Structure 1
Amino acid sequence: MALVRWDPFREIDEIQREMNRMFDRLMARPAETDAYTFVPAVEMHDDPETITLKLELPGLNPNDLDIQATAEAVSITGERRFEKRSEDKGVTRTEFRYGRFQRVIPLPNRIKHDQVKAEYKDGILTLTLPKADSEKAQVVKVNVVS
């Protein structure tokens, strides 16, 4: 039986190569589907009177957004359009994501969906959602029958 010297760094390199192969397979996009579309990041702030949502939508025209609100959720649909550029020489490479997106955000409280306000500034969409009069504030006495 031959003795083999153990090299921990060789094993770490092998683990890193395997992780790289795994991420390459995970991120490979099939040509027929757009599995990895643009999904805007959301920040939610909940205070006693309102819920404030901020969505990161850089480079979008506010006219390309469709915002719909119900008492329990908000849906934002839009499209980031590809700007066509042609070059005679060289190669153009882009890492931007284009296409349609939809984000449905369930809300922690019911809102007055007919009083929602939206503002778009510097690539940030801010939605102010006033809370509905809460039914949970009402206390009802429950009698136990024995």
Structure 2
Amino acid sequence: MSLVKFRRMPFGNLITQDFFDMDDFFDNRGWMRNMVPVGFWNSKTAEPALNIRENEDNFEIELAAPGFNKKDFDVTIDDGCLNISAEKSSEKEEKEDNYTRQEFSYNSFERSLQLPDSVKEEEIKAKYNDGILSFKLAKKEEAKKAPPKKIAIS
């Protein structure tokens, strides 16, 4: 079983992503592009890129999140779902004789992945290095692919 991206839908369980994607619905509406700036309706722009690899013994996840520190992340597992969020803000104020210059920035994101039953939740490891948040999710023994067995013919 593979990891599946978890997306909270505005209409709950009434509409699933397989049948109706709200992001695509708003992205493909030409009349909306004339009303608001391009990308306003596209929530995908706020999600960091994500790579998922499945190996024989584990899953490896890499999430691109440059500019953050380890302390900015909040990673939880809730009801079989890996939730990753980060929030960072900064303010800078410079006062001179006849002016004040103030700068501020705010960055945040949230990603959720539904974990397969084959993952050992208690053995998930995370590491943040050079703007990449990496996870190793070990598989349970019964989920690992067994080598082919030779069957004797009588």
| TM-score interval, normalised by the smaller of the two chains | 0.5 to 0.7
Flag structure 1 segments of 5+ consecutive residues without an equivalent: 1-18, 30-34, 139-146
Aligned residue number for residue 136 of structure 2: 128
In the alignment, the residues of structure 2 paired with residue 70 and residue 28 of structure 1 have an alpha-carbon distance, to the nearest angstrom, of 30
Flag structure 2 segments of 5+ consecutive residues without an equivalent: 1-29, 147-154
In the alignment, the residues of structure 2 paired with residue 28 and residue 125 of structure 1 have an alpha-carbon distance, to the nearest angstrom, of 25
Report if the CA contact (8 A) 1:71-1:112 is conserved: no
Q: Give every structure 1 segment of 4 or more consecutive aligned residues whose post-TM-superposition deviation is greater than 4 Å.
A: 85-92, 135-138
- Matched residue SS, 2:52: strand
In the alignment, the residues of structure 1 paired with residue 78 and residue 57 of structure 2 have an alpha-carbon distance, to the nearest angstrom, of 17
Q: Once the two structures are superposed, what CA deviation does each residue of 1:120-142 show, in whole Å capped at 9, x if it has no partner?
A: 1101010011012336979xxxx
TM score, norm. by length of structure 1: 0.57
For residues 38-117 of structure 1, the aligned pairs below 5 Å read 38-69=46-77, 72-86=80-94, 88=99, 98-108=106-116, 110-117=118-125
Gap change, CA 1:108 and 1:72, over 3 Å in 2: same
Report if the CA contact (8 A) 2:56-2:144 is conserved: no
In the alignment, the residues of structure 2 paired with residue 28 and residue 91 of structure 1 have an alpha-carbon distance, to the nearest angstrom, of 27
In the alignment, the residues of structure 2 paired with residue 134 and residue 28 of structure 1 have an alpha-carbon distance, to the nearest angstrom, of 44
Aligned residue number for residue 25 of structure 1: 36
Report if the CA contact (8 A) 1:79-1:98 is conserved: yes
Q: Which has the larger radius of gyration?
A: 1
In the alignment, the residues of structure 1 paired with residue 107 and residue 37 of structure 2 have an alpha-carbon distance, to the nearest angstrom, of 21
Gap change, CA 1:130 and 1:66, over 3 Å in 2: same
Report if the CA contact (8 A) 2:88-2:107 is conserved: yes
- Matched residue SS, 1:114: helix
Report if the CA contact (8 A) 2:51-2:61 is conserved: yes
Report if the CA contact (8 A) 2:93-2:102 is conserved: no
- Matched residue SS, 1:98: strand
Cα deviation, residue 83, structure 1: 3.7
TM score, norm. by length of structure 2: 0.55
Root mean square deviation, CA, Å: 3.8
How many aligned residue pairs are there?
112
